[in-house]
Chain A
Amino acid sequence: MTALPRHRRAMPGFGLTMGLTLTTVCLVVLLPVGALLWQGASAGPAALWDVGSRPRTLSALALSFRLSALAALFNLAFGVLLAWVLVRYRFPGRRIMDAAVDLPFALPTAVAGIALTTLYAPNGAFGALATPFGWRIAYTQAGIFIALVFVGLPFVVRTVQPVLETLDREVEEASATLGASRWTTVRRVILPALLPAALTGFALSLARAVGEYGSVIFIAGNIPLRTEIAPLLIVIQLEEFDYPAAAAIGIAMLAMSFTLLLAINLLQIWTRRRTGDV
């Protein structure tokens, strides 16, 4: 460390850009998270554990993470497919479809929730089709799943799409000339190249779904132990003026999300190494 010669960097502005970045990260990310942890710390670990280990809290957390994971998995499969169709085929209305993918980002989530509920309620357009079979979609876990798929869909498409666009067709042709079947080419050549981007999309979609509130509360029945999501439980605790309990659930969600995202990141590093794409 001692003999390191000092170089002037080729590009100026390290101090300025770093300072700006740190300020923004502090204001936008660290302060709210810090306030959450502070609120939790003021209650003490025993109180946090007491709230976190209640059956109702556990069931809400399990529901949120289970349905979010299912929705993200669905988005992973469907998002890759959608990106493939958008990049590889030319058909009328392709640009409109491409633009429509972003709509879940643009629409206020409450609007999405109310629209989905109207459609899937027993007297709605889709809900009415399911009613004769004795199925209920709105106000059940199926409804929550649909809302989460809706809000998370753009993530996988938008992360996979640019990678697909830059993927050399010659590689596929090379694979074919070397005698690989079409399916082998997809499995051994294309999918490994898409995997890191798809995993990023999956992680983003999962993270979004876990924290989603606006669209879900309209379509979930909000019945404790059955269709009550963790963010709603936080709001309920706030309504009771029980800030430490709300913070406890928030911290539990934060910890679980962080662990999940970390695991996905590690998985990504591993797949990158394996496929030799550093």
Chain B
Amino acid sequence: MQYTTNPIVFTVLGIGARKEEDMTMTIDISIRFGAPWSLPGHMAGRTAAPYALGPVRTPRRRVRWHAATAVAAALIALGAGTILQAQDLLNVSYDPTREFYRDYNAAFSTWWEGQGHDAPRIETSHGGSGAQARAVIDGLNAQVVTLALASDIDRIAAAGKLPADWQSRLPHDAAPYTSTIVFLVREGNPKGIADWGDLTQDGIEVITPNPKTSGGARWNYLAAWAWAERSGQDPRAFVHDLYAHVPVLDSGARGATTTFAQRGIGDVLLAWENEAYLALNEMGEEAFDIVVPSVSIRADPSVALVEANIADDDQRALATAYLEHLYAPDAQALAFKHYYRAWDTSAADPADVARFPKIDLVGIEDFGGWAKVQPQHFGDGGIFDQIYVPQ
């Protein structure tokens, strides 16, 4: 089941109180529903009649108004974003892309100016993929979204902000770079973890975020499922067993990395490959090892243009170029540099490309696509919810 909601926008025009002789009080509140300015797709301005609260006023001949005070006119607009100029662009992205987009924004701006345009002002916002999608649905004025999961962009499409066929508008199903899920273990791999099957042995603690709140965690879960299917186990029993070994369920990928790396909890962290390399980079190669399992999933972070937030043709040109340029050789090289498995190796540093070991990668299409996977596994009462029922 799916729900969408419009932000409630209303204006309190005035509130007045008057005290009657018989010590009752009448309160008038007049409220106007709808935004005082035009917000496309939102509730149109409907004016509600003033409400009378409190004890019903009895008619009297001499009603003496001790006071009738109309005090406030307040605007409450939930989710009203800032209005951007044509040469401004807001990219709403997920957590581990911080470093990549910092570099890409600089590279793109230089290239765009080289094409004879004014310098664009590009801003990027990062957070949990689901929360970011919700912010865009609720009115965050993003022209492009670059999220962890296609299903999060599908949510935005379902809210009417971009066309349903967005995935066919860019090459490789609108995934300019991909990643996969690997294991991060403590230095020297003391528990001898080599593959998914080792994770459910006695005494092993696995750190992975909650798939309900983290996009990356859904890839973790699906990778485990894919391995169990390939190796002839009951996948449902295997993921059930796996999550019984999880002592802390963080809400996002960065939180899980902190729990594992800083707090010293757990024997193995299931992580995005790019996040695992980043952890090695930041915390020193002598602290952790990366273990690559026999089977994993091809995690496709997707990108799309948010049609509803495009102000004019200039901005459309900029936003379109911003997304299309992600597939250009120099941008692909940047993705490789930031530990993503991109598509075009022509301009990439061979060392960046050679870093990635070959893995048997399963795609989301092997599961029947997000439209099927999302409700079946992660929906309300889905397979993941059934793991956590009282025994």
Contact = CB atoms under 8 A, between A and B. Distances in A.
Contacts of B17: 15, 18-19, 22
Contacts of A245: 380
Interface in A122-137: 122-124
Interface in B226-267: 246-251, 262-265
Nearest to B255: A218
Interface stretch (A23-31, A72-80, A250-258): A23-31
Interface residues of A, number: 45
Given A221-B248, A223-B247, 16 more contacts: A4-B23, A6-B64, A15-B17, A16-B69, A18-B17, A20-B69, A56-B389, A121-B263, A123-B264, A223-B248, A225-B389, A232-B251, A236-B212, A240-B379, A241-B4, A242-B1
A225 B66 contact: no
Interface string B145-172: 0000000000100000000000000000
Overall SS of chain A's interface: helix
A55 interface: yes
Interface residues of B, number: 54
Interface stretch (B8-16, B315-323, B329-337, B363-371): B8-16
A240 B265 contact: no
B251 A235 contact: yes
Contacts of A241: 2-4, 134, 137, 155
Interface of A: 1, 4, 6, 14-16, 18-20, 22-23, 26-27, 31, 35, 38-39, 55-56, 59, 117-118, 121-124, 138-139, 217, 221-225, 232, 235-236, 238-245
Contact of A217 (B68, B71, B251): B251
Nearest to B7: A35
Contacts of A1: 22
A161 B16 CA distance: 39
22 contacts: A15-B68, A16-B69, A18-B17, A19-B17, A20-B69, A23-B71, A23-B74, A26-B29, A39-B5, A117-B263, A121-B265, A221-B249, A223-B246, A223-B249, A223-B388, A224-B249, A225-B390, A240-B212, A240-B379, A240-B380, A241-B155, A243-B5
Contacts of B22: 1, 4
A7 B213 CA distance: 61
B3 A122 contact: no
Contacts, number: 123
Interface in B74-118: 74, 76
B3 A244 contact: yes
B301 interface: no
Given A139-B248, A217-B251, A19 B263 contact: no
A34 to B, nearest CB: 9
A243 B388 contact: no
Given A19-B17, A222-B210, A14 B66 contact: yes
Interface string B370-381: 000000001110
Contacts of B70: 19
Contacts of B25: 18
Contacts of B246: 223
A238 B4 CA distance: 11
